Structure 1
Amino acid sequence: MKLGRLNHVGVAVPSMPDAIATYRDVMGASLITQPFDMPEQGVKVAFVNTPGQGGTEGTQIELIEPLGETSPIAGFLAKNPAGGQHHLCYEVADIEAARAWFTAQGKRILGPTRIGAHGTPIFFLHPKDMLGQLTEIMETPRGDH
């Protein structure tokens, strides 16, 4: 199994409009997607792209706001009211092969494989198995995300 590139960094935010404004006005980021709801995951999501240097592509940041009090992001924000880094997301060519490989390595997978914000299958690895970092594994997008 070969791990692909870092696709994005997930950042939990208490206010999507404020987060978008901060990334745009302070960091020079451009909005990739308008905010959209993902009720099955209990979140509102928007992607921004930071500017790259010397003509290189920037880094995608996934802004994540809770959709209601039962959202997993609401719990994160209760502990971190200003928001903060939530997860790292890496690409793989074959999500099911990656799931089997991580399982064989003794890594705990949190929940079933499901469709993520890029419209491709994803799963999460337990932070205690990944150096304290919640890690999202996603099948490489085939479209324009």
Structure 2
Amino acid sequence: MLFRSSSLTRTFRTFSTNPSNKIFQLGKLNHVAIAVPNLQQAAAFYRDTLGASVTDPEDLPEHGVTTIFVNLPNTKFELLHPYGENSPIANFLKKNTNGGIHHVCLEVEDIEQAVQQVKKMNVRVLGDVKIGAHGKPVIFLHPKDCNGVLVELEQV
């Protein structure tokens, strides 16, 4: 079958880079958090096998996690391991025994404005703004409202 070039039509989808309802500035990907059943083994993989630099473990009892950050040139991985009896990571690992991606963290300039905006767009937030692993205000957005992904917003 032959086609004449004049009969072909190309369709391009364009995406708005400046939504009219935007009131907060979305920044870069801060980190991808990975729940792991063995924190030291996971850190050794990224450090010894892949050559990344990793931080020392840090216990965050108020969040129910122990974290290690894997520093990459353009972002970080946050390795998460349960800390304490009420750890949300323990529940995640019960369902995903080998671990896996837990959430992604995006930077925002003003977390209060971001929370107001996402609530106006009917996106549920999980809890209140609190201080996260980097010592900065954070909030989580419900995965059911974010295409199945748990999204953390962190003020920079």
Q: Same fold (TM over 0.5)?
A: yes
In the other structure, the counterpart of 2:94 is 78
**Are 1:36 and 2:62 an aligned pair?**
no
Cα distance in 2 for residues equivalent to 1:59 and 1:26 = 18
The within-5 A match list for 1:26-105 is 26-31=49-54, 33-50=55-72, 57-105=73-121
> Structure 1 unaligned runs (5+)?
51-56, 141-145
How far does residue 25 in structure 1 lie from its aligned partner after superposition? 2.0
**Are 1:125 and 2:141 an aligned pair?**
yes
Amino acid across the alignment from 1:111: G
* Bigger Cα Rg: 2
How far does residue 26 in structure 1 lie from its aligned partner after superposition? 2.3
What secondary structure, in the 3-state scheme, does the structure 2 residue paired with 1:4 have? strand
Runs of 4+ in 1 over 6 A off after TM superposition: none
**Are 1:7 and 2:30 an aligned pair?**
yes
Count of matched residue pairs: 133
Kept after mapping to 1: 8 A contact 2:25/2:110:
no
Amino acid across the alignment from 1:13: V
**Are 1:114 and 2:137 an aligned pair?**
no
What secondary structure, in the 3-state scheme, does the structure 1 residue paired with 2:91 have? helix
Kept after mapping to 1: 8 A contact 2:102/2:150:
yes
Cα distance in 1 for residues equivalent to 2:50 and 2:121 = 38
How far does residue 28 in structure 1 lie from its aligned partner after superposition? 2.0
How far does residue 59 in structure 1 lie from its aligned partner after superposition? 2.4
Listed one character per residue, the Cα deviations across residues 52-104 of structure 1 (whole Å, up to 9, x for unaligned) are xxxxx232000010013320000000011111000000000011111111111
Cα distance in 2 for residues equivalent to 1:81 and 1:38 = 22
Superposed CA RMSD: 0.9
Amino acid across the alignment from 1:40: E
What secondary structure, in the 3-state scheme, does the structure 1 residue paired with 2:27 have? coil
Kept after mapping to 1: 8 A contact 2:137/2:154:
yes
Listed one character per residue, the Cα deviations across residues 92-141 of structure 1 (whole Å, up to 9, x for unaligned) are 0011111111111110000010000000000000001001000000001x
